[in-house]
Structure 1
Amino acid sequence: MRVASSTLYQQGLASMNLQQGSLLHIQQQLGTGRSILTPSDDPVAATRALGVSQAQAVNGQYATSRKQTNNALSTEENALQSVTTVTQNIQTLLVQAGNGTMSDSDRASVATALKGLYDQLLGLANSDDGNGQYLFGGTQTGSAPFSENAGGVSYLGDTGHQMMQVDVSRQMAGGDNGRDIFQSVQSSSGYVLKGSSTNTGTATYGQVSTTDPTDPLYGKPLKLTFQANGAGTMQYTITDESTTPATPVGGAVNFGSPSQIQVAGVSFTVSGTPQNGDTISVEPAKQAGTDMFSNLKSVINALNAPLATDTDRANLSNTVATGIRQFANSLDNVLTVRASVGSRMQELDSLNTVGTNRDLTYSQTLSGLQDLDYASAITDYYQRQTALQGAQQSFMQIQGLNLFKYLG
């Protein structure tokens, strides 16, 4: 069989190119530390590595989201801590305002102090995160959520929550809206007593307590109405205000000061001398005024008004007692929200631990798929180097086969 010289050259060159290419490939693997430089090196492993890399990137986004959420909740917790302090200071002043020996000027001083706390509370309600994003506007974070006007303080935000995807199947609220914090109470807050501003007697009430939450009437708004009977004896009747018209609860009961009144699973004491038509409302907390700003403004206005008669003093005492109860409910609500914030931050810590472990697993899987076995690669490198040298030497010998060198 005759083989052309050109064929010998082509085959020799192809053999050397193949060996050089293999040697270069191993050099690139050694330089990068990766066993897969192109998908063709190992299509199955390359596909798996791509999937793992994508999953790791998504896991990294969850970690970023958790960090942002934790920062937002930490900022909210700092603000709520200040709200708690202000609310407790308000409670202290309300107890002081209930001192019946205070003069008009003393009460005005307390009212001034309460107005300062009112302004602090409003400022905290309009807190931002330092970047112009308001904390308590719900999803409306670009403008202040609370605005003071002649009618009081209005909430301009919404009741939504900014939800953050903090893990594969977990969305978490990165904050709470202002209505849930400053204009709401917990459903378990019980009852609030409120005297009518038109009362002309001197009847006052203490704090209401729950005695039987299983009572059929528990949770319904009630009203005590005082009226003297034909013999001149002062009596009170209780009506269920949840119906139209209001439904009487029992019959008229003689009133004697003080009277321990038990109705609808609650108990409270009424003292003093009521007049015909005087009323006391017994309302569930959610129906008795839940706006912290409105409740505080009512007490401030009452304290600023001079007291000329015993009726004025009784109405002020009732207003302060109502305020004390309302702010006890408001403080419970703020503390409940703070507990929710703390619970979410604790959950984020747990999710971070899970996410870190997951990221480590992904890294280990990628290492097994992509990282180079240096011992094997170096051995292969020397084998390819020897093969290349053999190809070069054989080519030199073959290209030297020429009959002309033997002619002389």
Structure 2
Amino acid sequence: MRISTPQFYNSSSANYERTFGNVNKTTQEASDFIRVRTAADDPVGAARLLQLEQQQNMLDQYKGNITNVRNALGSSESTLNAIGSILQRVNELAVSSGNGGFTDADRKANASELASLEDQLFSLMNSKDENGKYLFSGSKGDTQPYVRNSDGTYSYQGDQSNLMLQVGDMLSLAANETGYSAFEQALNTSRSETRLTAPATDDGRVSLSNGQVSGNTTYNDRFRSGEPYSIQFTSSTEYKILDAGGNDVTLEASQGGKFDPKGDNTTISFRGVDLRLKISFKAGDEANPDAAIAGHSFNLSSKADSIAGTRSPGNTSSAQVTDATISDPAAYKAAFPGGGAVLKFTSATDFELYASPMTADSRPISSGTLSGTTATAAGVTFDLAGAPNAGDSFAIKADTHQNQNILNTISQFRTALNTPQDNDPVARQNFLAAQDAALGNIASGLNQVSSSISAIGGRGQALDVQAETNEALAGENTKTQSSIRDSDPAEVMLRLEMQKNMLQASMQSFAKIAGLSLVNYI
């Protein structure tokens, strides 16, 4: 077989270049022991490395999210703890204010301290985080969660949405605690009311408080199903209770309908509601006390929903909703949205009612035309002062009295403390009822705040577990990437030595064969 000189040189040159390239590549690998630099080095390994790098990037993002959630929850927890401490002091003041030796001056002193605590709570419930966002506004971080209304009440302006951040492949946690869950869901223990039905004019002999809900489950299951009730006093020591159907349910009341007229603030407990009873005989009643008390009767029921409307800041007119009443209970129950509504005027006289929040896709649930200065929609009649313009809207909220935030509880009790009661038995009775309401609602508010703190603690524990899981995954990810990308130092050095020897042998072989030309022997 003959090999031409060009063929010999081309073959030798290609062999040398290949061997020299291998040496250079292995030398570079020996400097950092990285085996896979491009997909050409190992297509399968490169694809696997890409997947692992994507996973590592996600783990890094989870780590940042965990830090953000932990910081946000820490701010919320410390604020809620401060709120809880203030509520403890509020509870102490409420308890001490019932002291029989206190005068109006003592109670006003407590009211003054309550006013300061109320302002502190208002400030804490409107706290911001390090980014200037409100802690308890839900997803509306730029909206102040609580505002003080002109009548002294407080309204929540945030929403119920949690800001969710993914902290693991299968786990997302809320980075915030909304004011709705922390404060607005506190049960209102003062959601029943009484009304004297006989005699037509109150003679002051029988005083019955509005009542306090002491058993929420019993109240919802038993009380609500039979209201309204009629409490009828048959003598100075007995009464009977009839439900809405006229059935006698007296045996479900404490002591089966009996009471001590000389007892100080006798309590009647009935279907989860506790009422204060006070009997005050008049001069001459000693001769026939039964006749003096018999015939008194009261209506007992849950408080009816109350409706309030506020104008939107962008309204072009100065029209206001001055009053709102439920004019058609059946229509109200069937159609009025539980989450609130928006009353919008499409002209100076025509209006539409939308469920709140109103969006571009919202459809009206009711519509109508003004009748004078009143608008009726979904069983509710609204009285307006001033003429509305087209485009004006009003936020409508329905208070079912099922819940009450702690700010309103403190405000109401502060008003009761400032009301004189010295030497006034009726005022004293009203104050004790207000104190019962305050103590019940303060306890409910404390429970709600404690529940929120517990929820934050639970999320914190979940974060710790997920952080450990993510760290373990990140460690395994690093090991797997290293096993694919990195070289075995011993193997690389051995291969480099072999390739160097091959390169040297190739050079020597070329020199020997190149010397076989006949020209060298002429």
* Same fold? TM cut 0.5: yes
Q: 1:290 aligns with which of 399, 404, 413?
A: 404
The alignment of Structure 1 onto Structure 2 pairs a total of residues equal to: 395
1:94-145 CA distance string (max 9 Å, x none): 0111123222221111111111111111111111112101111011112211
Partner SS, residue 40 of structure 2 = helix
1-structure distance, mates of 2:473, 2:9: 56
> Offset at 1:34?
1.3
Aligned to 2:162: 161
Which structure 2 residues correspond to residues 337-376 of structure 1 after superposition, within 5 A? 337-376=452-491
Q: Give CA deviations for 1:139-163 in whole Å, capped at 9, x if unaligned.
A: 1112211111213211111111111
Query: 3-state DSSP class of the match of 1:355?
Result: helix
Against the structure 1 CA distance between its residues 104 and 213, is the aligned structure 2 distance closer, same or farther, given a 3 Å change threshold? closer
Unaligned segments of structure 1, at least 5 residues: 241-245
2:124 matched residue in structure 1: 124
Residue 311 of structure 1: CA displacement?
0.9
Which residue identity lines up with residue 391 of structure 1 in the other structure? S
Q: 1:278 to 1:323 in 2, by over 3 A?
A: farther
The equivalent of 1:243 in structure 2 is: none
Partner SS for 1:40: coil
- Give yes or no for contact 1:226–1:234 (8 Å, CA) kept in 2: no
Partner of 1:270: 276
CA distance in 1, matches of 2:226, 2:452: 26
Q: C-alpha displacement at 1:300, in angstroms?
A: 0.7
Q: 2: CA distance between counterparts of 1:2 and 1:33?
A: 44
Match of 2:450 among 311, 321, 335: 335
Greater per-residue strand proportion: 2
Q: After superposition, where does 1:85-234 map in structure 2 within 5 Å?
A: 85-151=85-151, 152-185=153-186, 192=190, 202-203=207-208, 209-210=214-215, 213=218, 217=222, 233=236
Q: What one-letter code is carried by the residue in structure 2 that aligns with 1:94?
A: A
Determine the structure 1 residue equivalent to 2:509: 394
TM superposition score normalised by structure 1: 0.86
Secondary structure of 2:172's counterpart equals: strand
Amino acid at match of 2:405: D
CA-based RMSD: 3.2
8 A Cα contact 1:98 1:321, kept in partner: no
Distance between the aligned counterparts of 1:400 and 1:359, measured in 2?
61
Bigger share in helix: 1
Shift of 1:222: 5.5
Match for residue 75 of structure 2? 75
CA contact (8 A) 2:184 2:404 kept: yes
Contact 2:192–2:212, Cα closer than 8 Å, also in 1: no
Q: Which amino acid letter does the alignment assign opposite residue 156 of structure 2?
A: Y
- SS of residue in 2 equivalent to 1:139: coil
Q: Percent identity?
A: 26
Describe the shift of the 1:288–1:196 C-alpha distance in structure 2 as closer, same or farther (beyond 3 A).
farther
Alpha-carbon distance between aligned partners in 1 of 2:52 and 2:71, rounded to the nearest angstrom: 29
More relative contact order, 1 or 2 (CA 8 Å, 6+ apart) = 1
Q: With structure 2 as the length reference, what TM-score do the two structures score?
A: 0.68
Please name the residue that 2:427 is paired with.
312
- Per the alignment, residue 248 of structure 2 pairs with 250
**Distance across 2 between alignment mates of 1:296 and 1:224:** 30
* Structure 1: distance between partners of 2:93 and 2:176: 30
Q: In the aligned structure 2, how far is the partner of 1:144 from the partner of 1:64?
A: 27
